[in-house]
């Protein structure tokens, strides 16, 4: 698992069937102090996150597909939780 900050929405009107009814968010990985530590990427939102939220990401394709219960879905990352606060 990783932590990340949601920095945007992604809208796609044409997509594969496995992506229908899915909400896509652009996230950037952060460290415990909130500093960006990697490149941004797209994740499926399974936690009702919004822009500015700090979220928990599972970035393993098989695990992400298991959470969605779609074993053939083209998904590499999924938002599984929203962080209330970070403490170091």
- Which tens digits make up the pLDDT trace of 14-34? 777 766 678 899 999 999 999
Lowest mean pLDDT among 4-8, 28-32, 53-57, 61-65: 61-65
Q: Do residues 3 and 53 touch, judged by C-beta distance below 8 A?
A: no
Residue 69 is predicted with a pLDDT of 64
pTM for this entry: 0.84
pLDDT at residue number 83: 97
67-74's contacts with Cβ under 8 Å and 24+ in sequence apart are: 68/22, 68/44, 70/18, 72/18, 73/18, 73/19, 74/16, 74/18, 74/19
* Per-residue pLDDT at 28: 97
Structure tokens belonging to residue 7: 């920095």
Q: Give the chain's domains with CATH numbers.
A: 2-82 (2.40.50.220)
Q: What is the pLDDT of residue 67?
A: 67
Mean of pLDDT over the chain? 86
Report whether pLDDT(49) > 90.
Answer: yes
């Amino acid at each position: 698992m990783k932590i990340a900050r949601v920095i945007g929405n992604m809208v796609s009107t044409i997509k594969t069937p496995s992506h229908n009814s899915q909400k896509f968010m652009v996230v950037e990985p952060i460290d415990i102090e909130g500093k960006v530590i990697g490149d941004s990427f797209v994740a499926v939102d399974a936690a009702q996150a919004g822009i500015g939220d700090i979220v928990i990401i599972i970035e393993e394709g098989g695990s992400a597909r298991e959470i969605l219960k779609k074993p053939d879905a083209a998904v590499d990352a999924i938002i599984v939780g929203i962080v209330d606060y970070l403490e170091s």
